[in-house]
Amino acid sequence: MDLRQFLMCLSLCTAFALSKPTEKKDRVHHEPQLSDKVHNDAQSFDYDHDAFLGAEEAKTFDQLTPEESKERLGKIVSKIDGDKDGFVTVDELKDWIKFAQKRWIYEDVERQWKGHDLNEDGLVSWEEYKNATYGYVLDDPDPDDGFNYKQMMVRDERRFKMADKDGDLIATKEEFTAFLHPEEYDYMKDIVVQETMEDIDKNADGFIDLEEYIGWQAYQGGDR
């Protein structure tokens, strides 16, 4: 297929692959927008470019000649073609868009993995995470900013244990991803709900009243 046909197919797959419920599903991590451009294929495919390539990668295409763009796109298409049969199926294109959508999660995990796998054994234990994250603040019982780091550590430990499926307090990369981004894993949904309740239920009565909810909305900037 030519480039225009490919982009038309991409537009259709974007609609299927990225469709989401309208309500906010959590208050733990929030995904960046796929694009700040208007999604109107009658005017341009700029939104689809951002969704397909990522906004930063799409910007680099603006600096390329049509020939260079075609060459780079060909290399990307070869990555999408999972079975290497020379064709990109709708399912392969959907999988790629989903991967591009979640790329920021993988990049975040990789960055934090390097900072917490202190002994470089390919695993992150709770002790490693605790020492790397809280080691320098736990020595100060009264931090200048007044933040309760010990309470935050207890909360992190609870979430770490939930993510750690085998209960050995040592996380594989998949378990570490569930710890950092629990909203992406079904078995972590309870901890997402629990932490959300704790954040909003300021009087800890087990209920969220209107005042608490409005206060949280105001704190979050009114976008949730």
What percent of the chain is predicted at pLDDT more than 90?
32
pTM across the whole model: 0.60
Distance between the two ends of the chain, CA-based, in angstroms? 41
Q: Is the pLDDT of residue 26 over 80?
A: no
- Phi, psi torsion values for 170, nearest 5 degrees: -130, 120
Pinpoint the residues of the chain covered by CATH 1.10.238.10. 88-223
Higher pLDDT, 224 or 205: 205
Question: What average pLDDT does the segment 90-112 reach?
Answer: 84
Cβ contact 196:213 at 8 Å: no
Q: Considering the chain, what is the average pLDDT of its residues?
A: 78
Higher pLDDT, 21 or 3: 3
For residue 6, give both structure tokens: 């490919």
Q: Which class is domain 88-223? A: mainly alpha
